[in-house]
Amino acid sequence: DAGVTQSPTHLIKTRGQQVTLRCSPKSGHDTVSWYQQALGQGPQFIFQYYEEEERQRGNFPDRFSGHQYPNYSSELNVNALLLGDSALYLCASRRTGAGTEAFFGQGTRLTVV
């Protein structure tokens, strides 16, 4: 059973560019969430997708957007990259419903130069 998979694993972008990160959820999971983890900190919630719609959003600007496809895979898009967007981006999946266990992918390490 494949777990949560993310691509790419590493990425270097220039300030002002746009980036797309991808996530395939664990088999049987239909809810995908994205988190940003800055160096030395805990992951921070960006947003969550279920049934191809954004259901919850954390305190992130509109430069951060996402998408979920009918097969439950998801993308995170970041426009107009800033140096401060450099971080580890983690995708988590779970079965929908309160109190279900979340599983994380290995992350995409984004460096903005």
Answer yes or no: are the C-beta atoms of 78 and 19 closer than 8 Å: yes
Q: How many CB atoms lie within 10 A of CB 74?
A: 25
What tokens were used for 26? 């664990």
- For 104, what's the count of Cα atoms within 13 Å in the CB-facing half-sphere? 12
Shortest reach from residue 45's CB to another protein, in Å: 5
Q: Does 88 bind another protein (CB under 8 A)?
A: yes
Shortest reach from residue 5's CB to another protein, in Å: 11
Q: Does 45 bind another protein (CB under 8 A)?
A: yes
Q: Does 90 bind another protein (CB under 8 A)?
A: yes
Stretches 11-19, 63-71, 74-82, 93-101: which one binds another protein (CB under 8 A)?
Answer: 93-101
